[in-house]
Structure formats: C-alpha cells, structure tokens
Amino acid sequence: MNLPNKLTILRIILIPVFMGVLYWGFPNAAYVALAIFIVASLTDLLDGKIARKYNLVTDFGKFADPLADKMLVTAAMLWFVEIGQMPAWALLIVICREFAVSGLRMIASDKGRVIAAGWSGKVKTASTMVCIVLMFLPFLPEALNTVCVWVITLTTLYSGVEYFVKNKDVIASA
C-alpha cells in the first residue's frame, strides 16, 4: 500500500479518535479535537500532493480519499449540531449535496466519464475546513460562527448546483 493510501487510512482512523475526544470530555477537548481535525485535514492535502507528484493515484485512493473527507467534515458538523452551534438544516444541505454529487459521479462513471472536482468544489472544501477550524475556537463570536455556517451552506449549495448544471447531459441521458 502506498503512502497516500496510508494517509487516507490514517485520516479515517482519526475520525473516531476525534469524536471520542469530544464525547469523553477530555480536558481542553475542543483544542485537542481541533488539533486532530487539523492533522487529519493536512493528511488530505499531503496525500493528494504525493499521489499526483509521484503518479501514485489508485482506485482505492479515488474512492477512499473523498469518502474520508466527507466523513471527517460530517463528524465535525454533527458535533456542532449536537452542541447547538450549527442548525441541523445546514448539515442536511451538506449531506444531501454530497449524496447527490456522488450519485451524479456514479452515473457518469457508468457512462465511462469522470467528473473531476471543479473550482467551486475546491472552494467549498477549503472554506468548509477553515470555517470548521474557526468554529472550534471557544472564543469565536456568535456572529462569526453564523457567518461560517452561511459560508459552508452557500458554497455547498453553489458547488452542488454547478456540478449538475455543468453535467446536465449526464442526467439527460440517464
């Protein structure tokens, strides 16, 4: 197994550790969870750079890497919903977009077509990661938390709509 795939597996393993820290009431749990989230997020950047640079792209990586990202982000947002820092409807939008785009990609794949991540999807991912990091800071003003929720929601909606508009032919021929 190559290094990028090992980093993806590490990210997946860090998710229950991340949630355990939050649920088991570790001292300074928010800071410890934030550190774990940042490390897990950095493994995503690192595995992608290594895989592309050394041509180590694998079928496992194509499948597991985006899944690990979705699991990590969903875990953090579930925590925010549970503690009342994020409304459940915002998380629902994120989850529905992920299922819809994944479904679109599956349909495209059946037709021999690959739908690569677009610019708006990359902006969505980056802004979501930054906002999650900010939302873990205990001194974050409520107004900035609200801005983060809206940034996550709006970039998620925009990128989801863009995927479908740019690939409407995939649906039309389904």
Q: Is there a domain that residue 130 lies in?
A: yes
Q: Is there a domain that residue 14 lies in?
A: yes
Chain length of the chain: 174
Q: Is there a domain that residue 72 lies in?
A: no
- List per-residue pLDDT tens for the chain, 174 residues long: 899 899 999 999 999 999 999 999 888 999 999 999 999 999 988 988 898 899 888 888 888 888 999 999 999 999 999 999 999 999 999 999 999 999 998 999 888 888 877 899 889 999 999 999 999 998 999 999 999 999 999 999 999 999 999 999 988 876
Which residue range is the domain that position 29 belongs to? 1-65
Q: Is there a domain that residue 162 lies in?
A: yes
- Work out the mean pLDDT of the chain and round it to a whole number: 93
Domain match, 59 and 16 both: yes
Instruction: Give the separation between CA 115 and CA 118, rounded to whole angstroms.
Output: 8
Q: Is there a domain that residue 138 lies in?
A: yes
Domain match, 151 and 103 both: yes
**How does pLDDT run across 14-29, given as a tens digit for each residue?**
999 999 999 998 889 9
Taking residue 105's Cβ as centre, other Cβ atoms within 10 Å add up to 19
39: CB partners within 8 A, 6+ apart:
14
Q: Is there a domain that residue 49 lies in?
A: yes
Domain match, 98 and 39 both: no
Q: At what angle do helices 29-53 and 59-82 cross, to 10 degrees?
A: 160
**pTM beyond 0.85, yes or no:** yes
Do 11 and 67 contact (CB within 8 A), yes or no?
Answer: no
Q: Is there a domain that residue 112 lies in?
A: yes
